[in-house]
Structure 1
Amino acid sequence: MKLYLKTKDYSVSQEEFGLVQHPELEMLITKPQPKEIDRYYQSENYISHSDSKKSLLDKMYQFVKRVTLFQKVKLVDRYVQDDKSILDIGAGTGDFLFAAAQKGWTISGVEPNSEARNRAFQKSVALSPDLESLMHRKYKVITLWHVLEHLPDLENQILKMISLLEERGALVIAVPNFNSYDAKHYKESWAAYDVPRHLWHFSRTAIKKLFHKYGMEVVETRPMIFDAFYVALLSEKYKTGKTNYLRAFQVGLRSNISAWTTKEYSSLIYVLKKA
């Protein structure tokens, strides 16, 4: 497989990794993929496993998370009229499921990280450590908010998810887009590569082709506007060692303006249904 670029783990280990092109899909693969991946998540910098508000960047992340929670619940509401059952895979500290429960959803969730599960439990959101414990039922909606890129044994995981989906259910997936303006601008310093925690790196074409193999069709694609700004802030820090707020805002804005015509936003939400 052809090397696309070399990057490194900026947030934990500082180890170098390569991104190689998938032979068939417009997708990148992190190489090597560590066998013991857990140690790369053991960091206070990994904010999705915490509710940290220590730094200004943390506070911005938590603010954006609160704003987008409403938008996410509103999106999934459009696809279900009754029996509002939802499974969130990679639920983190449970904020999305907590918001969904307040809107009448019957919630289930999976989160491998014990600390994140404990934080979710404090919000009255009980999460399972793995998907296998939830294989006894089906769901109207299954969500993965920036989780698909983390999953080992990707295609087997996709098969499991589809088997848990109701016949007319919806699979909702949010992932970074390496064809975005900000990805091309920052190159190896683009924070959304986040190696080796991100094992796979998707394009719009890759998502469409990958899930088409399993009888799933993309019925809607929506941008995640805030991601361009947040990713640019992290990327500036990785690239220059400084948090250049003005420069990051400019790059994030350019990325979103560019995407108005190209549709290549920094991150995208895909809604998929069985064809």
Structure 2
Amino acid sequence: MFKLLRRVVMADMYFSPAQKVHATLLDYGCGDGGFLDTLSTRRDLRLIGYERGAAQAAHVQAALSVPIHSTRSALLASEEGNVDVLTLHMVLEHVLDPGEVFADAQRLLKPQGTMYVVVPDAESFEARLFGKKWHSLDAPRHICFPGKPHIQELAQQYGFDLVRDRPAAFPNGFAGSLAVVLAGRFHFALFAALLPFGLLFSRLVPTGAHAYWLTKR
């Protein structure tokens, strides 16, 4: 049930690879492996994950039977120049140096490889609507909120072309923000009750996050 709910919630944010592409896909910052799990039946894809922390990486690897690297050095040693698609689902906001991530992507991707980035959008209607009560602020876990000008600058610096971008629906952001407004703090039960409204709002007004497609030169 949880897996199904997460797929519904994340449907507009998760990268959607073309069918029968026979590609290597790396989920950089794969967390508990939720995105990789959605692709587990795709025999045309070679899946890899990267998640800092040996224990978490080992847990996801055992659960999904997918190689999960826990250090940048091991990842680069194993996969440099081998990756067709590199995904970053809500990752950049957690890192101190987004440039380091772009540098890794430049080394890992094949020429003309695809980098897909989704980040909370601090300039979005949702962020402006809720202000300091915006759920996706999530301090101190979220450190930075790179917008389109920053993504373009990083792309130029590290050898990528930004080929497409669009707002992305993230129901958790609206539901979590509304829960804080109503209760004065984040309340999980209230958040869960409001999630259907978050789903509806985010589909009608995709906001709160932004997705970018980049191609390695």
Please classify the TM superposition score into its range, dividing by the shorter chain length. Answer: 0.7 to 0.9
Q: CA RMSD in A?
A: 3.0
Identical-residue share of aligned pairs (%)? 24
Say whether the 8 Å CA contact 1:189–1:239 is kept in structure 2. yes
- Partner SS, residue 103 of structure 2: helix
Picking from 170, 173, 186, the partner of 2:130 is: 186
The reply on whether 1:236 has 2:184 as its aligned counterpart is: no
Identify which of 45, 51, 64 aligns with 1:105. 45
Deviations 1:56-91 (A, max 9, x none): xxx5xx544223469845x2327x844x11111111
Q: Given the alignment, which residue of 199, 212, 216 partners 1:270?
A: 212
**What is the CA deviation profile of residues 125-150 of structure 1, one whole-angstrom value per residue up to 9, with x for unaligned ones?**
33111221021332111111111111
One-letter code aligned to 1:230: N
Q: Which of 119, 127, 135 lines up with 2:76 in the alignment? A: 135
Partner of residue 62, structure 2: 121
1:155 Cα deviation after fit: 1.4
1:249 corresponds in structure 2 to: 197
Q: 1:135 to 1:183 in 2, by over 3 A?
A: same
Alignment partners' CA distance in 2, 1:237 and 1:199? 22
> Could you report, residue by residue, the CA deviation over 1:242-266 in whole angstroms, capped at 9, with x for unpaired residues?
627569937972x66556xxxxx21
> Residues 1-275 of structure 1: matches in 2 within 5 Å?
59=2, 62-67=3-8, 68=10, 72=14, 75-77=16-18, 81-82=21-22, 84-103=23-42, 104-113=44-53, 114-115=55-56, 117-136=58-77, 137=79, 138=81, 139-225=83-169, 227=170, 229-241=171-183, 243=190, 249=197, 253=201, 257=204, 265-275=207-217
CA distance in 1, matches of 2:128, 2:98: 25
Structure with the larger RCO, 1 or 2 (CA within 8 Å, 6+ apart): 2
Task: Rate the CA distance shift 1:250–1:193 in 2: closer, same or farther, 3 A.
Answer: closer
List alignment gaps of at least 5 residues for structure 2. Answer: none
CA contact (8 A) 1:224 1:267 kept: yes
Answer yes or no: is the 8 Å Cα contact 2:110–2:216 preserved in 1: no
- For residues 217 and 133 of structure 1, what CA distance do their matches in structure 2 show? 27
Give deviations 1:1-47, integer Å, cap 9, x for gaps.
Answer: xxxxxxxxxxxxxxxxxxxxxxxxxxxxxxxxxxxxxxxxxxxxxxx
Report how many residues are paired: 205
Q: Could you say which residue in structure 2 is the equivalent of 1:18? A: none
Residues 210-244 of structure 1 show CA distances to partners (whole Å, capped at 9, x for unaligned) of 3222221211224422x0x3211111223332627
How far apart, CA to CA, are the structure 2 residues paired with 1:220 and 1:142? 15
**Paired residue secondary structure (2:69):** coil
- TM-score of the two chains, using structure 2 as the length reference: 0.79
Which ranges of structure 1 fall in alignment gaps of 5 or more residues? 1-52, 54-58, 260-264
